[in-house]
Structure 1
């Protein structure tokens, strides 16, 4: 009679994931080194209405003074820096997953935006940028005769 038993490997999937993470961290210069400056890109939602575009960027741990927004030739660039928390005496990081350092995102906008009316707000770690469309570019429904 054959008995089926489950063998557990000495290596778990979690161990393999940690090794792969470590390899990527070393390759891209990330990791627990508190002094390393990391370039990262905030997660962004982009929505469109009939009269405007709205961008929402996740930038927790920043203030409005940490962020710069530039619009030139229909290219909107959001950049800034999120400072790293310093280690306390006797504390050593085992794993660091939150990105710190410089960040930037660049968006190409259509010609039909009004660059003079762009507005931005920063609230609870979310940067919201409102980019109005020009009057000539707003969508309207055409009735069929």
Structure 2
């Protein structure tokens, strides 16, 4: 019998593997952010970046409990933004188009192009109840915190004989 099959029978193993997958997602996001920050440290390399990368803030609010994701998207047509939510993650994708009649550039600092941001959420949310609004260059996504399942109660069941 394989080690994986033996491990899958241990109590708590599936939960531990799910936690490990979630931790790997967090690590991947941190590495992505590290490389993005590295490009910002060296301003001479800005022209080498491949595409626009919007900044994101995530914060928790109460009454009712929810996570709010604020995405900085100036110059982006909101009808061209795609938002996909799951209980543990949020994906925001779109493109910031370069204006057509720009003439001859003398300075080029603004980043354009396709973008995609994946945000790993610290708490499970209810994606069915999520809302998104775009105003003054900011996309605000509100994700209600998923209600916690009721704790399992132990109920004693009396066993009787049918004879």
Aligned length: 106
Are positions 1:106 and 2:111 aligned together?
Answer: no
Shift of 1:73: 5.8
Are positions 1:44 and 2:56 aligned together?
Answer: yes
Select the residue among 75, 81, 88 that pairs with 1:67: 81
Higher strand share: 1
| Matched residue, 1:57 | 71
Distance 1:25 1:48 in 2: 32
Shift of 1:110: 3.8
| Matched residue, 2:140 | 128
Structure 1 segments unaligned to the other structure (5+ residues): 1-19, 31-37, 138-145
TM-score of the pair, normalised by structure 2:
0.57
Shift of 1:111: 5.0
Shift of 1:21: 4.7
Distance 2:43 2:59 in 1: 33
Shift of 1:120: 0.5
| Matched residue, 1:78 | 92
Distance 1:129 1:71 in 2: 10
Shift of 1:113: 1.1
Shift of 1:25: 4.7
> Which runs of structure 1 show a deviation greater than 6 angstroms over 4 or more consecutive aligned residues?
none
Higher helix share: 2
Q: Is the 8 A contact 2:87 2:127 kept in 1?
A: no
Shift of 1:99: 0.9
Shift of 1:84: 0.3
Structure 2 segments unaligned to the other structure (5+ residues): 1-41, 150-163
Q: Is the 8 A contact 2:84 2:91 kept in 1?
A: yes
Q: Secondary structure at the match of 1:65?
A: helix
TM-score of the pair, normalised by structure 1:
0.64
